Amino acid sequence: MEYDSIHEELVQILNETGRQINIIEAQIDVELQLDFFEQIENNKDVELDFYKAENQLFDDIVTIEEKKILLVQLSISSNVQAYKLIKRFHETKPQNLFGWTTLALQHSQINLESDLLDEKQLFISTGLGGDKDSLRYFFANRLKLKTEFTDSQKKIIRNEFKYVFNKHQSKIEEYYFDECYFVFVALIPIAESINTIIQQAIVETNNFGNFLDIEYLVTNVKKLGKSDIDNYFKKKTV
């Protein structure tokens, strides 16, 4: 539910600036993303030797850490050749560097587009990624009585959540039931409020028996396992 204030700020920025949105589609670990953007800051004033970078990037003797810096420097350069080089390297699916290379490729593309359009663009990146103008979210909820779901309850949840999410131009990509929990992964447009959608879906579902807890877990950092979900709801009952 803490997403409300962050979401409002983001929508306000988009409305005020009218800037182009660029969402990283891939699901990349948040810590890796933070490391990448820290290196962007550290290397923004470094002068790139393109031909040296090209040779070193495909050299097996060059370490992974050194290649990370090369990719960062290439991504900063508003240069078509640099973008093509990153893309060529990315297509080799480099072991231990695929997520980093994905970030570099996206960052390079945005820099090129910013120069061509002569305007800064908004770069949005989360652990679960997204698609076009939508972000991906992981959501979990449970029964009020902490019992297992009946077949009837499962059907009601599937139908009502699908109805509400569709009404808000949102797409449920996957879902599953695990004892007393159920989980959804969904794409939701930035313009829509994730909490509003989930709360409406819970209300609609509870019209058919009032069996869902009003407390829920939602994140766009990563997909969570059963132990993480257990710990979250245990804290909510303390």
Are 111 and 42 members of one domain? yes
Residues 97 and 140 in one domain: no
Last residue of a domain, one of 105, 124, 143: 124
**CA dihedral for 43, 47, 52, 53, sign (positive or negative):** positive
pLDDT single digits (tens) 90-142: 999 888 898 999 999 988 988 887 777 666 666 777 888 888 888 899 999 99
Q: Specify whether 181 is located in the same domain as 200.
A: yes
- Structural domain contains residue 13: no
Is residue 73 situated within a structural domain?
A: yes
The Cα-based distances of 212 to 71, 86, 143, 208 in angstroms read 47, 48, 5, 10
Rounded to two decimals, what is the model's pTM? Answer: 0.77
- Taking only the tens place, the pLDDT of each residue in 121-132 is 667 778 888 888
In a domain, 233, yes or no: yes
**139 & 94 share domain:** no
| Domains: count for the chain | 2
Range of the domain at 60: 29-124
Last residue of a domain, one of 124, 146, 174: 124
Give residues with Cβ within 8 angstroms of 217, minimum separation 6. 138, 139, 140, 141, 224, 229, 232, 233
Whether residue 46 is found in the same domain as residue 108: yes
Higher pLDDT, 41 or 24: 41
- How many angstroms separate the CA atoms of 82 and 86, rounded? 6
Query: Are 137 and 120 found together in one domain?
Result: no
How far is the C-alpha of 141 from the C-alpha of 156, rounded, in Å?
14
Measuring CA to CA, how many Å separate 132 from each of 163, 204, 219, 236? 22, 28, 19, 34
Same domain, residue pair 164 and 119 = no
218 lies in a domain?
Answer: yes
- Are 152 and 226 found together in one domain? yes
In a domain, 64, yes or no: yes
Q: Is residue 6 part of a domain?
A: no
- Is residue 92 assigned to a domain? yes
Distance (Å, whole) CA 31 – CA 176 = 27
User: Is residue 181 in some structural domain?
Assistant: yes
Residues 207-232: pLDDT tens digits? Answer: 999 999 999 999 988 899 888 998 88
Q: Which of 124, 156, 175 is a domain's end point?
A: 124
User: Does one domain contain both 178 and 224?
Assistant: yes
Q: Which two tokens stand for residue 106?
A: 């996206």
Same-domain pairing of 104 and 168:
no
228 and 198, same domain (yes or no): yes
Per-residue pLDDT reduced to its tens digit, 36-68: 989 999 998 888 888 888 899 999 999 999 999
User: Per-residue confidence at 180, pLDDT binned at 50, 70, 90?
Assistant: confident
Residues 140 and 196 in one domain: yes
Measured CA to CA, the distance from residue 229 to residue 86 in angstroms comes to 38
Q: What is the 3-state secondary structure (H, E, C) of the chain?
A: CCHHHHHHHHHHHHHHHCCCEEECCCCCCHHHHHHHHHHHHHHCCCCCCHHHHHHHHCCCCCCHHHHHHHHHHHHHCCCHHHHHHHHHHHCCCCCCCHHHHHHHHHHHHHHHHHHHHCCCCEEECCCCCEECCEEEEEEEEEECCCCCCCHHHHHHHHHHHHHHHHHCCCEEEEEEEECCEEEEEEEEECCCCHHHHHHHHHHHHHCCCCCECCCCEEECCCCCCHHHHHHHHHHHHC
Q: Which CATH number does the domain housing residue 194 bear? A: 3.30.70.1290
Mean pLDDT of the chain: 86
**Angle (nearest 5°) at CA 111 between 106 and 116:** 125
